[in-house]
């Protein structure tokens, strides 16, 4: 297995298939394939897959298969799980894929830290994280952090159930802004200040930046697919940013960092307003909705100008900037299922 090899023909076929005309959505529907759980989506710094160096160009090509281990040194890696669920592995960390099945997705944190962003979860999904003898099941949309150094589970947003011993009948509920120590006395979750914790957490900061880029990619890809025949929801490859992003089947979802994930059906059905004066920079000059009530009941005023700077290949800080009207919205008013 050579995880450093990228299929350049695939990338070139994407670029040539997307002329800037009305045929572009149909072309995308014909040329894009969806990823499977375990697909490597982004590599930064030093990392290895089953002992073999993992290059940045392996994104979208390499896959963490059942029984394989991904380890980082001075680096971080993002891995796709079920559609709408992202696993992010911190520096000096290691994870093993126990099961990549869609209905039973299980990983093991061997050492270090990892975060999981859950933007959509179904009743059929069982998202499990093992830490030594303990096991955590993720129950709701949210952001979860697993710390093998401190031996604890932290829930920034969402809800999890933790068993201190696998196959045990005793589970401890851990809700938003609570953490649980995975030791003999870890029978009750304790509250924590998420803002304070995030300010000293480099993996959280990196995860938020990744969420920003994914939100930008989604907004552009959703417009490409809006009205295209044969579309089905899931992971979609962005040939400009060289990464997969998530396109839901219907509605509008919000990540725990406040970035939106549009479905093409939502845009095609009039959920996104076109025809307003173009904005300066940001999202190809696209427009925010005139009236959006999907987060905290807030209504975006008509004519709001994006302050983000560019999209394709833009430096960190493009898109929603994690602030303004779209920040902190969590999953308020998420899309329909």
Q: Are 36 and 63 in contact (CB under 8 A)?
A: yes
Q: Domain for residue 4, yes or no?
A: no
Q: Which two tokens stand for residue 255?
A: 């990540």
Q: Domain for residue 58, yes or no?
A: yes
Q: Which two tokens stand for residue 291?
A: 């009236």
- Please report which confidence band the pLDDT of residue 170 belongs to, taking 50, 70 and 90 as the band edges: confident
Q: Domain for residue 11, yes or no?
A: no
Q: What percent of the chain has pLDDT over 70?
A: 68
Choice between 71 and 13, residue whose per-residue pLDDT is larger: 71
Q: Does the pLDDT of residue 74 top 80, yes or no?
A: yes
Q: Domain for residue 167, yes or no?
A: yes
Which residues sit opposite 199 in a β-bridge? none
pLDDT of residue 186: 63
pLDDT of residue 161: 96
Number of domains in the chain: 1
Choice between 109 and 222, residue whose per-residue pLDDT is larger: 109
Sequence-ordered list of residues with C-beta below 8 angstroms from that of 290, at least 6 positions apart, any chain: 273, 276, 300, 302
Q: Domain for residue 224, yes or no?
A: no
Q: Domain for residue 42, yes or no?
A: yes
Rounded Cα–Cα distance for residues 151 and 166 (Å): 15
Q: Domain for residue 138, yes or no?
A: yes
CATH code of 95's domain: 2.60.120.1440
What b/e sequence results for 131-155 when a residue is b if at least 16 CB atoms lie within 10 Å of its CB, and e otherwise?
beebbbbbbebbbbbbbbeeebbbb
Q: Domain for residue 147, yes or no?
A: yes
Residue 315's Cβ-count burial label (10 Å; 0-12, 13-18, 19+) is exposed
- CB-facing half-sphere around the CA of 147: CA atoms within 13 A: 17
pLDDT tens digit sequence for 237-291: 988 888 999 989 888 899 999 998 988 888 776 554 333 222 222 222 222 332 2
Q: Which domain holds residue 190?
A: 36-199
Q: Does the pLDDT of residue 20 top 80, yes or no?
A: no
pLDDT of residue 242: 87
**Phi-psi category of 103—alpha, beta or left, where left has phi over 0 and alpha has psi -120 to 50?**
alpha
pLDDT of residue 271: 52
């Amino acid at each position: 297995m050579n995880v450093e090899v990228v299929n350049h023909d695939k990338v070139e076929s994407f670029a040539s298939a997307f002329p800037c005309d009305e045929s572009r959505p149909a072309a995308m529907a014909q040329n894009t394939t969806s990823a499977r759980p375990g697909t490597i989506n982004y590599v930064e710094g030093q990392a290895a897959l089953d002992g073999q160096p993992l290059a940045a160009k392996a994104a979208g090509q390499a896959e963490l298969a059942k029984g394989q281990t991904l380890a980082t040194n001075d680096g971080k890696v993002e891995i796709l799980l079920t559609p709408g669920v992202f696993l992010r592995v911190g520096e000096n960390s290691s994870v093993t894929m126990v099961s990549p099945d869609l209905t039973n997705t299980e990983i093991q944190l061997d050492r270090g830290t990892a975060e999981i962003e859950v933007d959509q979860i179904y009743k059929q999904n069982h998202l499990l994280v093992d830490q030594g003898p303990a096991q955590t099941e993720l129950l709701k949309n949210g952001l979860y952090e697993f710390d093998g150094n401190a031996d604890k589970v932290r829930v920034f947003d969402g809800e999890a159930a933790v068993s201190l011993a696998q196959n045990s009948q005793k589970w401890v509920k851990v809700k938003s802004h609570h953490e649980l120590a995975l030791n003999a006395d870890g029978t009750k979750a304790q509250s924590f200040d998420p803002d304070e914790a995030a300010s000293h957490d480099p993996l959280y900061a990196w995860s938020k930046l990744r969420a920003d880029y994914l939100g930008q990619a989604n907004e552009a890809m959703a417009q490409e697919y809006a009205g295209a025949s044969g579309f089905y929801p899931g992971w979609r490859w962005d040939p400009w940013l060289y990464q997969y992003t998530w396109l839901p089947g219907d509605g509008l979802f919000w990540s725990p960092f406040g970035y939106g994930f549009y479905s093409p059906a939502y845009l095609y059905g009039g959920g996104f307003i076109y025809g307003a004066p173009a904005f300066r920079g940001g999202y190809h000059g696209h427009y925010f909705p005139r009236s959006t009530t999907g987060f905290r009941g807030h209504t975006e005023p008509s004519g709001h100008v994006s302050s983000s700077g560019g999209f394709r290949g833009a430096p960190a800080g493009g898109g929603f900037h994690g602030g303004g009207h779209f920040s902190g919205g969590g999953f308020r008013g998420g899309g329909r299922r």
